[in-house]
């Protein structure tokens, strides 16, 4: 089935070479060795390829789930332990509680974060459970005047193992639900008002605390500080400070004129294809990471790269960086372990599959993922 859709597949390299025709050149392009170095003239930002990609970027305006957290993160308050202690006990403060990194959600009348107040979580807080200052509402006003203490404070609290100390968290109206499921039901940030963004912050940082109980420098135990945004080594001879991590991942759609490159990992559901992706490595730019991943996974040489958008992905603490890349070669050469297949698909085919008017591979089944934004933004141009 895929053979009729794809103009190039890794399993059919000879036919690929026959079909290669770069836009505007009117001639076949000879295959390029994957070891050939990049000519700097081909990756300069002002070249036509870069301008074509830039037109894609200007059109992007789609909100992404896990973005749009509207809270003031109140960095200046994080070292103010007296202020923090007072807000923890403030009856107006709200607690987003998580068990096993699953947020407590209200399921009726509509899915929403089920915040608890101090009275409901006091016993859990007393037990030493990990908490985190998510931030304060930006419009912190009382009686028309600016509230010097800020607006309502929002905290996250890890209640794992303490669920029994909470009021009615196992009822039909309030359940701990996997954050992916919540995000899928919330949809885009525009629709969810940034609520998934709060969950992303809570899940990523509380997960980081759970994994970093000991100092990476000396091995001694660490303690939470700065309202949950720091772990400090308790060894007086060390006193190293450790901050929550964000791990950048580039995810890219390689473009060859009116075709895009999609691949499938062995662990994808059967028949499913998505944009290629990979973790950035130390000492490289976003553009370099995009080109390296395309070459490593599919043997595709890329020139101009344009950033589209990014998306926090708190599983456990990733930032997805969505890009388009201009393919300089189209002959697929799979790496043999990260991808089991890759193919070029025409824009019309992709558009029809997404619209449900044509059968074909399952394309980026998770609409909330940035890969879907890359693809849908491209076909709408
Ligand atoms: Zn240490």
CATH number at residue 114: 3.90.79
Give the contacts of 143 (CB within 8 A, at least 6 positions apart).
none
Hey, what are 166's tokens? 């909470």
Hey, what are 380's tokens? 């709408």
- Give me the chain's average pLDDT, please: 83
CATH number of the domain within which 49 lies:
3.90.79.10
Do 297 and 191 fall into the same domain? no
Distances (CA, A) of 343 to 71, 230, 361, 362: 42, 44, 10, 13
Hey, what are 181's tokens? 């499921």
Do 87 and 204 fall into the same domain? yes
Classify residue 150: in a domain, yes or no: yes
Classify each residue of 22-46 as buried b or exposed e, where b means 16 or more C-beta atoms within 10 Å of its C-beta: eeeeeeeeeeeeeeeeeeeeebeee
Classify residue 228: in a domain, yes or no: no
* pLDDT confidence of residue 238: 98
Distance 298 CA to ligand 1 centre (A): 42
* pLDDT confidence of residue 363: 77
Do 39 and 105 fall into the same domain? no
Q: Is the pLDDT of residue 143 over 50?
A: no
Distance 231 CA to ligand 1 centre (A): 10
* pLDDT confidence of residue 73: 92
Classify residue 225: in a domain, yes or no: no
pLDDT per residue over 25-42, tens digit each? 322 333 333 333 444 444
Nearest to 374 by CA among 250, 288, 267: 250
What is the pLDDT averaged over residues 79-108?
95
pLDDT per residue over 10-20, tens digit each? 333 322 322 22
**Distance from C-alpha of 146 to C-alpha of 135, rounded to nearest angstrom:** 17
Q: Is the distance from CB of 94 to CB of 134 less than 8 angstroms?
A: no
Do 83 and 42 fall into the same domain? no
CB neighbours of residue 150 within 10 Å: 18
* pLDDT confidence of residue 147: 56
Distance 243 CA to ligand 1 centre (A): 13
Residue scoring higher pLDDT (243 or 22): 243
* pLDDT confidence of residue 35: 35
Do 274 and 357 fall into the same domain? yes
Classify residue 169: in a domain, yes or no: yes
**Distance from C-alpha of 322 to C-alpha of 312, rounded to nearest angstrom:** 11
Classify residue 235: in a domain, yes or no: no
Do 287 and 332 fall into the same domain? yes
Do 28 and 81 fall into the same domain? no
Phi (first) and psi of residue 126, to 5 degrees: -60, -25
**Distance from C-alpha of 75 to C-alpha of 138, rounded to nearest angstrom:** 13
**Distance from C-alpha of 170 to C-alpha of 162, rounded to nearest angstrom:** 13
| Residue 172 banded pLDDT, cuts 50, 70, 90 | low
Instruction: Please give the helix or strand (H or E) that residue 84 lies within, else none.
Output: helix 81-88
Residue that terminates a domain, selected from 211, 231, 254: 211
What is the pLDDT averaged over residues 252-272?
93
Do 83 and 207 fall into the same domain? yes
* pLDDT confidence of residue 140: 56
* pLDDT confidence of residue 21: 29
pLDDT per residue over 288-298, tens digit each? 999 999 999 99
Residue that terminates a domain, selected from 185, 211, 237: 211
| Residue 186 banded pLDDT, cuts 50, 70, 90 | confident
Distance 214 CA to ligand 1 centre (A): 8
Dihedral of the alpha carbons of 304, 247, 239, 207, in degrees to the nearest 10: 170
% the chain with pLDDT above 90? 61
Classify residue 113: in a domain, yes or no: yes
What is the pLDDT averaged over residues 111-129?
96
Do 318 and 201 fall into the same domain? no
Distance 213 CA to ligand 1 centre (A): 11
* pLDDT confidence of residue 193: 79
Distance 241 CA to ligand 1 centre (A): 8
What is the pLDDT averaged over residues 263-289?
94
Do 128 and 161 fall into the same domain? yes
Classify residue 142: in a domain, yes or no: yes
Distance 224 CA to ligand 1 centre (A): 13
pLDDT per residue over 36-90, tens digit each? 344 444 444 444 566 667 766 655 556 788 998 989 999 999 999 999 999 999 9
Classify residue 239: in a domain, yes or no: no
**Distance from C-alpha of 99 to C-alpha of 105, rounded to nearest angstrom:** 11
% the chain with pLDDT above 70? 78
**Distance from C-alpha of 73 to C-alpha of 76, rounded to nearest angstrom:** 9
**Distance from C-alpha of 10 to C-alpha of 3, rounded to nearest angstrom:** 11
Distance 209 CA to ligand 1 centre (A): 15
Residue with tokens 């390689």: 254
Give the contacts of 60 (CB within 8 A, at least 6 positions apart).
308, 309, 373, 377
Distance 185 CA to ligand 1 centre (A): 42
* DSSP letters for 300-340: --EEEEEEEEEEEETTTTEEEEEEEEEES-------SSS-S
Do 180 and 106 fall into the same domain? yes
Q: Which domain holds residue 146?
A: 75-211
**Distance from C-alpha of 38 to C-alpha of 40, rounded to nearest angstrom:** 6
Residue that terminates a domain, selected from 157, 191, 211: 211
* pLDDT confidence of residue 369: 86
* pLDDT confidence of residue 145: 53
pLDDT per residue over 326-381, tens digit each? 999 999 999 878 899 999 999 999 998 888 887 777 777 677 889 989 998 999 87
Number of domains in the chain: 2
Do 37 and 94 fall into the same domain? no
């Amino acid at each position: 089935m895929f053979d009729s859709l794809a103009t190039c597949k890794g399993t059919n390299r000879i036919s690929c070479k026959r079909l290669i025709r770069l836009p505007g050149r009117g001639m076949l392009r000879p295959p390029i060795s994957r070891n050939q170095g990049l000519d700097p003239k081909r990756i300069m930002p002002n070249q036509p390829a870069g301008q074509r990609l830039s037109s894609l970027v200007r059109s992007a305006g789609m909100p992404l789930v896990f973005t749009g957290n509207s809270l003031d993160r109140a960095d200046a308050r994080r070292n103010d332990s007296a202020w923090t202690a007072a807000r923890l006990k403030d009856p107006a403060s709200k607690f987003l509680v998580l068990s096993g990194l699953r947020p407590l959600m209200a399921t009726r009348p509509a899915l929403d974060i089920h915040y608890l107040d101090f009275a409901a979580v006091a016993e859990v807080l007393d037990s030493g459970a990990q908490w985190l200052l998510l931030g304060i509402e930006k419009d912190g006003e009382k009686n028309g005047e600016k509230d010097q203490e800020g607006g309502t404070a929002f905290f996250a609290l890890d209640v794992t193992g303490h669920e029994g100390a909470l009021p009615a968290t196992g009822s039909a109206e309030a359940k701990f639900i996997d954050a992916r499921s919540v995000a899928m039901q919330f949809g885009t940030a525009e629709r969810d008002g940034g609520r998934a963004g709060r969950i992303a912050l809570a899940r990523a940082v509380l997960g980081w605390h759970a994994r970093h109980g000991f100092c990476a420098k000396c091995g001694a135990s660490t303690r939470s500080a700065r309202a949950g945004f720091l772990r400090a080594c308790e060894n007086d001879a060390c006193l190293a400070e450790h901050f929550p991590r964000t791990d950048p991942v580039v995810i890219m759609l390689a473009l060859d004129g009116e075709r895009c490159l999609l691949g499938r990992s062995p662990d994808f559901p059967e028949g499913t294809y998505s944009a290629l992706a990979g973790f950035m490595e130390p000492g490289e730019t976003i553009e370099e990471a995009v080109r390296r991943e395309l070459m490593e996974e599919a043997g595709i040489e890329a020139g101009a790269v344009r950033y589209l958008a990014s998306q926090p992905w708190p599983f456990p603490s990733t930032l997805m960086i969505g890009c388009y890349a201009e393919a300089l070669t189209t002959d697929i050469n799979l790496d043999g372990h990260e991808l089991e297949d890759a193919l070029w698909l025409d824009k019309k085919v992709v558009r029809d599959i997404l619209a449900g008017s044509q059968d074909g591979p399952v394309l980026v089944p998770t609409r909330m993922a940035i890969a879907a934004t890359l693809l849908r933004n491209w076909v709408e141009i």
